[in-house]
Structure 1
Amino acid sequence: MVNLNIEEIMPDIEHLIEDGNSGALLNILMDMHPADIEEILNRLKKEQRLYLFNLLPTELASEVLSELDTPVVDQILEEKTEEEISSLVDQMDSDDAADVISELPEDKAARVLDKMTEEEAEDVKQLLHHEEDTAGGIMAVEFLAMPENATVNQTIEKIREMRDEIDELYNVWVVDEHGHLIGSVSLTDLVLAHGNTKLKQIMDEDLHFVRVDMDQEEVANYFRKYDLVSVPVVDEHMKLVGRITVDDVVDVMEEEGAEDLAYMAGAPDEEIMEESTFVLSKARIPWLLVAFFGEIVSAFILNSFEATLQQKVISAFFIPIVMAMGGSTGQQASVIVVRGLATGDIGLGDTKRRLFKEFRISLFTSIFFSALLFGVVYFWDGLLFASILAFSMFVVINNAAIVGALIPLTFKRFNIDPALAAAPFISTSNDIIGLLIYLSITTFALRMF
């Protein structure tokens, strides 16, 4: 593989595509890593992308296909016949093949499975039965399991036989006569042991494993916590059914991180490589509607306090700062909690402690900004309104911090993705509540004084 600067070669790639110089293109692509080819395909227009992909030999094309984002995969596969798709997925690991086939229309997926080799088709069907976002959905069924009475020499011979089937081998899993996982042997221990040594004599019985129904985000946290590179997957009876490697976990971490950011931005289910304006708009509009109707409620609140605004016109000038400080405080608290829940650093058992911590932080910040605002408004309008505004800011900031921390924790308790809370729910709710608090305090104070 060569190390190329994609930015530098893109003009040459596009020029060669326009000229239809397939020979020169293949000379360039054959020396590149599939991930680099994937990056090139992502930067091309649809027609150029299809032309370039169709030049690739089947084995390389299957490796590139497993790297591509879903919208690009859809573009490529819609031009392919069932025979062509089956030849591509036959070259993939079972988990990658299952990911590709799961994106196909149901009838087309069934026809592709019929054209695959029987063994590969059965592996893919097994994976498709599991939920997509679980350990079963991301595992591969290509693994090496040996009986506990097998010798080191027998195990090494088995590794040689399976070298084309298993790309990355880190451990040999040891099973009993019923296929139940009972231990593991590292490659280091395997190489250093005598040839006639039985695996049960050198296996590690204190091993890490995950259940087939464990959420993929929990799997990623499990890998991170114990610094794992590979882990076996077992069913409810401890029967070995697959394995997950660190490259799968890296993909999960990227996917979960992107998903959380998308929820926080109010643009979930949006693929970066998606080109359809309608699809992208359809994903964003529901979340924008929440913000839209939330601000309509804010408008009604303003209308109901019309008399107060007319009596003290200056109070309208500070509505933006009150809403902004409340919204920003709520977002800060929610993002910290969402991230902590995602990484496992915060759990539901930490709810009271977390809320108290956020209250302590908001207490300090609210005092700081209330004092700052009091000083500004005191020289602008005098003591009374400065006090009203400072007290309103104090209450709004503290309320926003508690709401921002509490909503993600509540979502988590009801098994709803906490990232959903970040936007637009928290920002919109804090706008409404903050506005209501500010104008209610102002109205009460003006009546009393």
Structure 2
Amino acid sequence: MTPFKLTDELLEEIQLLIEHQNDVDLRAKMKEFHYADVAEIVNELEVEEATYLIKLLDSEKTSDILTELDEDVREAILNNLSPKEIAGEIEELDTDDAADIVGELPKEIVQEVISEIEDREHAKDIVDLLRYDDNTAGGLMAKELVKVKENWTVTTCVKEMRAQAENVTRVHSIYVVDDDDKLKGRLSLKDLLTTSPKAHIKTVYIPKVDSVNVNEKPEEVAKIMSKYDLEAIPVIDEIGRLVGRITIDDIVDVIREEADKDYQMAAGISQDVEADDSIWELTRARLPWLVLGLFGGAAAAVIMGGFEEMFRQYTVLFLFTPLIAAMAGNVGVQSSAIIVQGLANDDIKGSIGSRLIKEMLLALLNGVILSALLLIFTWFWKGDFYTALAISVSLIAVIVVAGFIGTFTPLFLHKRGIDPAIATGPFITTSNDIFGILIYFMIAKLILGI
């Protein structure tokens, strides 16, 4: 299968079909593409064109298209649809995707859209999901699943499974509950097929099943599913009742969003933004860390101002200031990035003290190697051994301190319940610049006897 690629020619062809309202050819053209590819096309159309296309195609396909669209594009299209038309799209979606879209609608039309949904059980499930916070397992789960009662016979179980499976896109697991809907375990399809039709489910189900609470954070759910290689995981409420399931496609979205957020924080962007956002939104996201960098640079300048006399005697020290600052920042970011990654993957074991010692020993080894190379270079370049020694020894100290700061900061933030990803960007770079320059000049002053 050839990967889809949106070209200018294809986009122009579709726009012409829309302009001339050539519905027959337009439907035929869209039939060639996967709904995710159509979403890519819709993202590039004008709002009026996108709305026309969505209204033209069957809801069975456009409902999936809506879930793949950029949020701002989807919002613009939904604003052009009536509550009844929106309800038609919602009815074709699984409850988790439906709840996500309904949750984005203006509050004044949510009730109207819900009332237009013909499948009242589907509407009830959507309303139920809207009660949960987006940043919880409850806000992530879908209601569609297959569950059987432990006191059913195999014959009854198969009959009920057939009825339930009609509303489930993909059956990952069969869950077993008691009469109060409390999760008891899971059912193996093999055991079901090889057991007597008159046997009761409670005699064949597997009591061990991984589950998460409705209030669990999505990041924790992702860790559990990743650790145990689960395609789906059941969600239970506070008293152990089975209320939904989370599938791997939802977890992939969580992992991607978390990675995007961490990447932006590491780059010094304080909130979730995209390239297409307004200048004001992008400025608000970037400016705080730029202000921090400004004050950090000003602090470094003040520190350097206190060593003016040393500059006059040893101008070469000034030449190596950018190198010292850069090495401090690089080492700090490397150390913090490893720790943040380990915390995200739940790979950090042992005490903070042992982790700090390991990272500082690593920094010391790297510092000695780099400093030896710098000593040789500076000595041959300037012909002054003591100046070269002062710069090289300073570099070792700066690298060790930077490694300490880069390791300790994310661990400390994590212990305090603060996202450690904040420590991988300008925060670490700025703090290490300041400490690095201060250590550099103090050690140089000590060795050179100024």
Q: C-alpha distance in 2, partners of 1:113/1:398?
A: 60
Aligned pair count? 445
Q: C-alpha distance in 1, partners of 2:373/2:32?
A: 62
Q: Kindly provide the CA deviation profile for residues 111-137 of structure 1, in whole angstroms up to 9, marking residues without a partner as x.
A: 433443543333223222222222112
390-399 vs 15-24, which deviates more? Answer: 15-24
* Structure 1 residues 368 and 303, CA gap change in structure 2 (3 angstroms): same
Confirm or deny that 1:291 pairs with 2:293: yes
> Partner amino acid for 1:80?
L
* Structure 1 residues 4 and 17, CA gap change in structure 2 (3 angstroms): farther
**Contact conserved, 2:146 with 2:165, CA < 8 A, in 1?**
no
- The one of 192, 195, 200 equivalent to 1:198 is 200
Q: C-alpha distance in 2, partners of 1:47/1:384?
A: 73
- The one of 7, 11, 23 equivalent to 1:13 is 11
* Structure 1 residues 13 and 149, CA gap change in structure 2 (3 angstroms): same
Confirm or deny that 1:277 pairs with 2:275: no
Q: C-alpha distance in 1, partners of 2:272/2:24?
A: 36
Confirm or deny that 1:68 pairs with 2:69: yes
- The one of 216, 223, 226 equivalent to 2:225 is 223
410-419 vs 271-280, which deviates more? Answer: 271-280
* Structure 1 residues 230 and 378, CA gap change in structure 2 (3 angstroms): same
Percent identical pairs in the alignment equals 36
SS of residue in 2 equivalent to 1:242 = strand
242-251 vs 11-20, which deviates more? Answer: 11-20
Q: What corresponds to 2:380 in structure 1?
A: 379
- The one of 123, 126, 140 equivalent to 2:125 is 123
Matched ranges for 1:41-120 at <5 A: 41-44=42-45, 48-117=49-118, 118-120=120-122
Question: Could you list the runs of 4 or more consecutive aligned residues of structure 1 that deviate by over 6 angstroms after TM superposition?
Answer: none
**Contact conserved, 1:274 with 1:280, CA < 8 A, in 2?**
no
Aligned-residue RMSD, C-alpha:
2.2
Deviation at 1:45, TM superposition (A): 5.5
Q: Kindly provide the CA deviation profile for residues 25-53 of structure 1, in whole angstroms up to 9, marking residues without a partner as x.
A: 32122242222222333445555544443
Q: What corresponds to 1:417 in structure 2?
A: 419
TM-score, with normalisation over the residues of structure 1?
Answer: 0.92
Q: Kindly provide the CA deviation profile for residues 129-183 of structure 1, in whole angstroms up to 9, marking residues without a partner as x.
A: 2222221121112222221011222222222222332111122211112211111
* Structure 1 residues 374 and 227, CA gap change in structure 2 (3 angstroms): same
**Contact conserved, 2:394 with 2:440, CA < 8 A, in 1?**
yes
Deviation at 1:263, TM superposition (A): 1.4
* Structure 1 residues 60 and 273, CA gap change in structure 2 (3 angstroms): farther
331-340 vs 139-148, which deviates more? Answer: 139-148
**Contact conserved, 1:326 with 1:434, CA < 8 A, in 2?**
yes
Deviation at 1:362, TM superposition (A): 0.7
46-55 vs 151-160, which deviates more? Answer: 46-55
SS of residue in 2 equivalent to 1:66 = helix
Q: C-alpha distance in 2, partners of 1:361/1:434?
A: 18
Q: C-alpha distance in 2, partners of 1:391/1:186?
A: 65
**Contact conserved, 2:176 with 2:183, CA < 8 A, in 1?**
yes
SS of residue in 2 equivalent to 1:7 = coil
> Partner amino acid for 2:306?
S
Q: What corresponds to 2:243 in structure 1?
A: 241
4-13 vs 418-427, which deviates more? Answer: 4-13
> Partner amino acid for 2:304?
L
Deviation at 1:245, TM superposition (A): 1.4
Deviation at 1:8, TM superposition (A): 6.0
288-297 vs 391-400, which deviates more? Answer: 288-297
Q: Kindly provide the CA deviation profile for residues 212-264 of structure 1, in whole angstroms up to 9, marking residues without a partner as x.
A: 22211111111111111121111232111111112222222222222211211
* Structure 1 residues 351 and 39, CA gap change in structure 2 (3 angstroms): farther
**Contact conserved, 1:62 with 1:89, CA < 8 A, in 2?**
yes
Q: What corresponds to 1:171 in structure 2?
A: 173
Deviation at 1:189, TM superposition (A): 2.7
TM-score, with normalisation over the residues of structure 2?
Answer: 0.92
SS of residue in 2 equivalent to 1:6 = coil
Q: What corresponds to 2:308 in structure 1?
A: 306
Structure 1: state its 5+ residue gaps: none
**Contact conserved, 1:135 with 1:219, CA < 8 A, in 2?**
yes
**Contact conserved, 1:295 with 1:428, CA < 8 A, in 2?**
yes
**Contact conserved, 1:378 with 1:386, CA < 8 A, in 2?**
yes
Q: Kindly provide the CA deviation profile for residues 11-68 of structure 1, in whole angstroms up to 9, marking residues without a partner as x.
A: 2233231342443232122242222222333445555544443433222111111223
